[in-house]
Structure 1
Amino acid sequence: MNTRNFIKLEILLITSILAFCSIVYELLLSNTLAIVTGNYIWWQSLTIGVYIGGLGIGAYYSNRLKNTYKSLINIELGLSFLGAICVVYVYIFHGTYKYIDNLFFYTGDFYSSFYLQNMFLLKIVFFIGIQGLTLLIGLLSGFEIPLMMRIAEERLGHSEEGEHQVLGINYLGTLVGTICFAYFLLPKLDVIKTSVVVALLNLLVGIYCLVKFAKSKRRVYAGFIAAVFVMISLIGINEQSITQRYLKFFYYLPKILSQNNTDLDDLIRRVDSFKPIERSKSLYQYVDIFTYPTTEDNKVVDSTILTLDTNFQFNTSTEFYYHQAFAHVSIIMNKKVPKKILLLGGGDGLLLRELLKYKEIESIKHIELDQKMIDLAKTRFAELNKHSLDDPRVHSEINDGFYYVRNTSDRYDAIFIDFPYPNSYDLARLYSLEFYTYVRRALNPDGFVVLDAPFYNKEDYTKNKYQGRAVLTQVFNERHVISNSVVASTFYYAGFKSFFPYRVSDESFLFLKVEPGAIDYNFMDSADLSKLEPQTIREMKEIKNQEFPYTVALKYVNSIFKPMVVKKNEF
């Protein structure tokens, strides 16, 4: 290989590495923000927009960088530093935001306009602080490609082909970065380790440029490089403790502040006293398991909580409310036990436990997306779910529920759907017109569907029973009616003419049938309640008094092509 070809290869290789590192930083920020806030669409869209804006600003002002090689070394040092701290920065900033928000929530005057104004300002500060880092990373990354083009011109002479090759390899490096992030870095290393590895890669480029091109101030640069390396190493070594501190703060903060423990030093001590959070990462989601102090019969006991991507799934002390209401209310309303059942989701096996109490049920086809949940159900939660997945009537399959109902030719007497709430476009499709059209097709004519879904009853929001937040957010209003209307309209236009919402404890459910007909609201009076806990029975007796206002209209239908069901929690 002659010298000219070696120089060209060197420039293109450095360019691809820089593009790889830059896009991974953006993906780290958007993914971490989406997980900690619970809003994928909002933060992924805004973060990539701010990042690309930063790229544009950097490219626009890159001609102001006079010393090409010195500027490149400075930029790589800066990106190594910012990339290494980006996830930790999000944890600290979001943790601070949650602390201040919860502090006002539990100790402030929730009913004043002053409170609302301060919460709005707090959100503005959070947004600027977080996206300021994104903009800075984008800005520094935006300098890189013009600098690499300038280096190519200085070392190889002016050539349009060389400029095009630098641009092309930049895009290819970005492609490789996104693929590696999705299929290797995030699943295998998680976010903090990924930030450390990629920051080290950035630092290596800086070291190479220092050795290769720097003519002066090498000792000064060596000192900065050593300092950045030490910082990156400390973050990597303390990755577990950083993650644990943030997770404990995230999950236990409301409990501590609700007990009027607002002293910061005492708060940190209390947070550290809790048992470690068990976090694992599947191909699809974060699975967190932790103990939480719960009061039962005037005694404080530790219950176990499971969350997916920090979204609550169940509490071992209260899950029976949810799963008994899910399984038994629908069967009681139907006045006939189904023989052949399809269960979509419910990988923890707890809903299966309740369904298997009916000897009349002959088979349950169980579709679960995440193998990790099946493994937990068969090991960690096997006693809680009474080994339901080992029952010969249950046939579990790892599959996507949407694709299963679209392609199956089987027909079922009942379909139970236990999915997370629609806080992303990917989940919104599981509440779409298209999905429930497939569900209706998989249902026998006299069968029924039951699911848990975000549905608001009027009484619940006028009791003002929740502590915290301004009163206007607790009054049933037009926003709740529209949300209900989206869900109801989607099911109606998918072909379900009988529609019965009900609420047990803090969970809402929907009972659907294809054929139109009235629901007997007094079904509890003559029902067999032997399979239910007394607490569940007390809650179920309130069903006949519940009111769920909604309007059925085509404009409210949630479709894959016009998503309507999106969680509105931005922070």
Structure 2
Amino acid sequence: MGTTTSHDTVAVEAAAAPTAAGSPPAAPAAGTPPAAYSRGARFLLLFAVFLCAACGLVYELALTALGSYLIGNSVMQTSVVISVMVFAMGIGSLAAKPLQRRAVGAFALVEGLLALVGGLSVLVLYVSFAWLRIYMPSMVVVTFAVGLLIGAEIPLLMTLLQRIRRQEAGSAVADMFAVDYIGALVGGLCFPLLLLPAFGQLKGALVVGAVNAVAGVVVVLWIFRRQTRRVVRVSLLAGMAAVLAVLGTVYALADDIEVTARQQLYRDPIVHAETTPYQDIVVTRSTAFTGDADMRLFLNGDLQFSSVDEYRYHEALVHPAMSGRRSSVLILGGGDALALREVLRYDDVEDVTLVDLDPAMTRLARTFEPLRELNRDALRDRRVTAVNADAFNWLRDATRRFDTVVIDFPDPDSAALAKLYSVEFYHLLKQVLKPESQVMVQGGSPFFAPKSYWSIAATIGEAGYRTTEYQVDVPSFGNWGFVLATPGTDGPPPALRLAEQAPPLRFLDDAVLEAAAVFPLDRRRLDVRASTLMDPVVLEYTLNEWQNY
């Protein structure tokens, strides 16, 4: 409720149809005696409108966020949810026309159903994803059901508002939609700032469902109690109590349900899981075939490292970039502090700035004992300054320059990440570089996602860098590629080598690096486009190439 003009237009037509025909708007049913309402009745009803609008927008945001976490491709998820919901809201508004003569009971019924369907929506979809693996069809059905019920609210509330005090149709619509839009604003802000941090997605939806149920009870059993027969009031109260009981029971079991469903998605036992405003963080732990502990970090379901072989990835990511000057180092991403661990192995590194978006990730790296052991307590090193900020925005305000930059972002499988692989981003990066600085970028897999990898390389080149591409094998990832770059277009590409003072490594040496720069015939450079903010082709490449893996 309160989310789109399309919904409001249909609702207005449904609620104001009698007025257009020249008769009073939404008159009470035949035989209903004139009613006297308390002074606060209209305010209370408008407050119900406010609550319904807030709840409606929260449902919409919850469905969008869940799809982005579970499936990725936030643009597609947002488009599908909004489109289906708006369509369903229009149908719901039209379907509410015959119910206006019994608006009190109909509104209570709609609110009860919406409380149940909306409150359980996140749980139903999560279960569908974890066990049934039919997320998209389930999401469309649930979104349509929620939209249908939201669409029915406005015509019924408009009718009830007119019963309390008759107004011209335009004035009634203005009052209703003003409160409706304010409620939507509050709901939209409460979702990321209050509900997600305090309750999480699953419990947050249940809490909002309970608010919907209470709004229905207040309207029916208080404002219109004199115009509703006792048997109807008792029946509706019993129904609302049942809805609240279901929501309360599920709320009490929510943690166990979430843990069980989440475990279905991962092969190994989960030892840590949390949902932040930015991502879903999961850590699993098992025993590898070698007998070593295998700890794995997943962000939004995507593997970030395995403790069995992460040294291959992080040695390849960090050490070639450290072959030049390295007294000051900038790490963008890499909140697990494993790249930082490798940087700190150089005694001549004087200071390191690590910029990662999610405070929960850096907190985990600092406090979760198994991860602390793996990163060697890198975030507690006196040379390190950790900053929680969006890297793009942080670069816009940055003033100091660094000798070496290591960029360890997740793959660009969302619009938010794709901007960090854009020409504009690499242009911004130049303002923190010195003429001789070296930049290292993880670029994904040249084998599994060749268009994405070579697009990243082309994007860096388009931004005015000289580049050297190379790839290594990481068993838990497969073939993985990197791009070493230095600012400027004149001169040779940066040399792929290790520093003379490089610490002892487990995987990488100069011979391995020399071989890494040779791409087999099936992984050679592709003629693909550079990615920009306005044309994020790397997102399209990434989603298309990884969809079958």
Give TM-score, length-normalised by structure 1: 0.80
The one-letter code matched in structure 1 to 2:470 is P
Deviation at 1:305, TM superposition (A): 1.9
Alpha carbons of structure 1 residues 385 and 411: separation in structure 2 relative to 1, 3 Å: same
Separation in structure 1 between the aligned mates of residue 496 and residue 318 of structure 2, nearest angstrom: 18
Aligned to 1:412: 402
Partner of 2:106, secondary structure, is helix
Partner of 1:415, secondary structure, is strand
Separation in structure 2 between the aligned mates of residue 133 and residue 522 of structure 1, nearest angstrom: 53
Structure 1, 435-444 or 61-70: larger mean CA deviation: 61-70
The structure 1 residue matched to 2:308, chosen from 317, 320, 325, is 317
The structure 1 residue matched to 2:245, chosen from 226, 230, 244, is 230
Separation in structure 2 between the aligned mates of residue 158 and residue 282 of structure 1, nearest angstrom: 46
Separation in structure 1 between the aligned mates of residue 246 and residue 42 of structure 2, nearest angstrom: 33
Give the alignment of 1:331-346 within 5 angstroms.
331=322, 334=323, 336-346=324-334
Aligned to 1:13: 47
User: RCO (CA 8 Å, sep 6+): is it higher in 1 or 2?
Assistant: 1
Deviation at 1:388, TM superposition (A): 1.9
Structure 1, 175-184 or 437-446: larger mean CA deviation: 437-446
Aligned to 2:524: 549
Separation in structure 2 between the aligned mates of residue 514 and residue 486 of structure 1, nearest angstrom: 18
Separation in structure 2 between the aligned mates of residue 41 and residue 531 of structure 1, nearest angstrom: 45
* Consecutive unaligned residues in structure 2, runs of 5 or more: 1-35
Deviation at 1:69, TM superposition (A): 1.2
Separation in structure 2 between the aligned mates of residue 519 and residue 503 of structure 1, nearest angstrom: 19
Structure 1, 221-230 or 161-170: larger mean CA deviation: 221-230
After superposition, the CA RMSD in angstroms is 2.7
The structure 2 residue matched to 1:446, chosen from 413, 428, 436, is 436
Alpha carbons of structure 1 residues 522 and 150: separation in structure 2 relative to 1, 3 Å: closer
Pair 1:428-2:418 in alignment: yes
The structure 2 residue matched to 1:562, chosen from 532, 535, 540, is 535
Alpha carbons of structure 1 residues 396 and 390: separation in structure 2 relative to 1, 3 Å: same
- Asked whether the 8 Å contact 1:500–1:519 carries over to 2, the reply is no
The one-letter code matched in structure 2 to 1:42 is M
The one-letter code matched in structure 2 to 1:280 is E
1:357-384 CA-partner distances (Å, limit 9, x unpaired):
2223232222233322232222223222
1:84-116 CA-partner distances (Å, limit 9, x unpaired):
211111012112344xxxxxxxxxxxxxxxxxx
Pair 1:306-2:301 in alignment: no
The one-letter code matched in structure 1 to 2:273 is R
Deviation at 1:540, TM superposition (A): 5.3
- Asked whether the 8 Å contact 1:489–1:551 carries over to 2, the reply is no
Give the alignment of 1:214-229 within 5 angstroms.
214-215=228-229, 216-229=231-244
Alpha carbons of structure 1 residues 51 and 81: separation in structure 2 relative to 1, 3 Å: same
Give TM-score, length-normalised by structure 2: 0.83
Separation in structure 2 between the aligned mates of residue 527 and residue 446 of structure 1, nearest angstrom: 18
Aligned to 1:498: 467
Aligned to 2:348: 360
The one-letter code matched in structure 1 to 2:161 is A
Pair 1:278-2:293 in alignment: no
- Asked whether the 8 Å contact 1:59–1:142 carries over to 2, the reply is yes
Aligned to 1:165: 175
Identity among equivalent pairs (%): 25
The one-letter code matched in structure 1 to 2:139 is I
Separation in structure 2 between the aligned mates of residue 293 and residue 408 of structure 1, nearest angstrom: 43
Separation in structure 2 between the aligned mates of residue 534 and residue 557 of structure 1, nearest angstrom: 32
Separation in structure 2 between the aligned mates of residue 229 and residue 143 of structure 1, nearest angstrom: 21
1:382-440 CA-partner distances (Å, limit 9, x unpaired):
22222222333323333332223222232222111111222222211111111101112
Alpha carbons of structure 1 residues 226 and 406: separation in structure 2 relative to 1, 3 Å: closer
The structure 1 residue matched to 2:284, chosen from 290, 299, 308, is 290
Which stretches of structure 1, 4 residues or more, deviate above 4 A after TM superposition? 2-5, 515-524, 526-530, 534-542
1:293-316 CA-partner distances (Å, limit 9, x unpaired):
4222xx4x5422222233322222
Separation in structure 2 between the aligned mates of residue 323 and residue 189 of structure 1, nearest angstrom: 35
* Consecutive unaligned residues in structure 1, runs of 5 or more: 99-124, 256-273, 462-479
Separation in structure 1 between the aligned mates of residue 514 and residue 423 of structure 2, nearest angstrom: 32
Structure 1, 209-218 or 434-443: larger mean CA deviation: 209-218
The one-letter code matched in structure 2 to 1:78 is L
Deviation at 1:246, TM superposition (A): 1.1
Partner of 2:263, secondary structure, is helix
Aligned to 1:57: 91
- Asked whether the 8 Å contact 1:440–1:496 carries over to 2, the reply is no
The one-letter code matched in structure 2 to 1:306 is L
Structure 1, 373-382 or 192-201: larger mean CA deviation: 373-382
Aligned to 2:378: 388
